[in-house]
Structure 1
C-alpha cells in the first residue's frame, strides 16, 4: 500500500491510496460518502482509494507527499472506511522495507552492457530478482535492499518494474541514495560488513 497526501496541491484535502502497482485498464468508481473506491471494471478488484476530507478522519498535520504506513495510521484509515460504509480488506504489510540482503548470484543483463541481474537473499523463502546498474556489485556481498513499497528519502517509491525487458523486484541502494551523512558522492551500492544479518531491517 502506497499513500500520499498534499493538501496544498490541486486535489486538496484528499488522501490518495494505491493498493496495487498494476495500472487500471478500465476504471469503475464506487462512492461511499467521503470514500471513492477505484476498481478494475472487468474484475471488480479494488486497486485504489480516494478519501475526501481526509483530515476529518486522520491526523495528517505536517504531511506533504508520501505517508508513513504505521499501525496507528492503518487503524485510523480502517475506521474512516467503516464510517463511510466501504468494505475493504487492506492486507497491510508492516515488515521492514529496507533490509540486509546477500547477493547469491550475479549475471549479465542480456540487453544492456551496464546492467546486471542479481539474485538476492533477504531471509525469505523466495529470493528477490533485482536488476542493478552499480559498477561495484558483486556476488557474495551483503547489501542494502529497498523492497517493493519502500519510500526512498527522495520520495521515490520502489515498485515492481522491468528494466530492458527483465523484471526487477526492488533496488540495491547506495549510501547517497539513502542520504546517509557524509556519504561518498560516487556511483556504487553500499556494501555492508560481515556482521550485518541477512533479512534484518537496515539501520543507518
Structure 2
C-alpha cells in the first residue's frame, strides 16, 4: 500500500507517504531531505516524508491525495537509495473509491443503530462493512471507500472494529465525499443501478 499527500499551503514542498497505519510510539530516522517513520514495537516502516520533493520528482499540481505514477515512484526510490535507505516504495494503482452493491445486511449484535453489511466491490470481492447510516438497505448501489482510501478530510480508511465487529472499509455519504450540494441529513449516498456499474472506480 502506498498513500501520498501534498499540501504546500500548510506544509511546504513536502510529500507525505503512508505505508502502514500509525502507531502510538514511533521512531524517526532522518537522512538528508527524507524522514522515515517506523513503529517502535515492531520496527515496521509506517511511511516517509520527502522534503523539497519538487527537486526529486518535479512540481506537483495536486493538493491533498496524490496518485503517483511509475516515474514518480521510481524517482522517490532513487532518492531513498541516494540518501542511504535500503527500502523501496511499491506503486499502488488499485482504485480505493469504488461502486459497491449491498448484498446482505444484518443487525449489529451490540448496537441499536449499526448494521453489518456484505458489500460486493471490484475484483468480485465481498467486504464486511459496518455501517451506521439510517438509510442503509439491502440491494443498494453505493460508494465504498476501501482500506487505503484517503477521504477529502484527510482521514485514511484502515481495517477496524465497530463495537467488536470487524469492518473493512466505509460506505460513504455525499457529505463525506465533499460532493457539491451534499444534503445535511445523515445517510449514505445511494447511486442509480442504471448509471453506475458495480466494481468500477467512483471518480469525484
Give the TM-score band, short-chain normalised.
0.7 to 0.9
Q: Does 2:138 correspond to 1:112?
A: no
Q: Secondary structure at 2:81's aligned position in 1?
A: helix
Match of 1:100 in 2: 99
Please, which runs of 5 or more residues in structure 2 have no aligned partner? Answer: none
Match of 1:201 in 2: 201
Are the aligned partners of 1:24 and 1:39 in contact in 2 as well (CA < 8 Å)?
no
Please, which runs of 5 or more residues in structure 1 have no aligned partner? Answer: none
Greater mean deviation of Cα atoms: 92-101 or 118-127:
118-127
Greater mean deviation of Cα atoms: 136-145 or 16-25:
16-25
State how far apart, in whole Å, the 2-side matches of 1:153 and 1:37 are: 25
Counterparts of 1:1-204 in structure 2 under 5 Å? Answer: 1-7=2-8, 9=10, 13-23=13-23, 25=25, 27-41=26-40, 43-60=42-59, 66-71=64-69, 72-195=71-194, 196-203=196-203
* CA RMSD after TM alignment: 2.7
Q: Spell out structure 1 runs of 4+ moving beyond 6 A.
A: none
Are the aligned partners of 2:14 and 2:53 in contact in 1 as well (CA < 8 Å)?
yes
C-alpha distance 158-84 of structure 1, shift in aligned 2 (>3 A):
same
Q: Could you tell me the TM-score, scaled by structure 2's length?
A: 0.81
Are the aligned partners of 2:104 and 2:118 in contact in 1 as well (CA < 8 Å)?
yes
Structure 1 residue 82: Cα displacement: 2.9
- What are the superposed Cα offsets for residues 154-177 of structure 1, whole Å, 9 maximum, x if unpaired? 333322232222222211112232
Aligned length: 201
Structure 1 residue 21: Cα displacement: 1.3
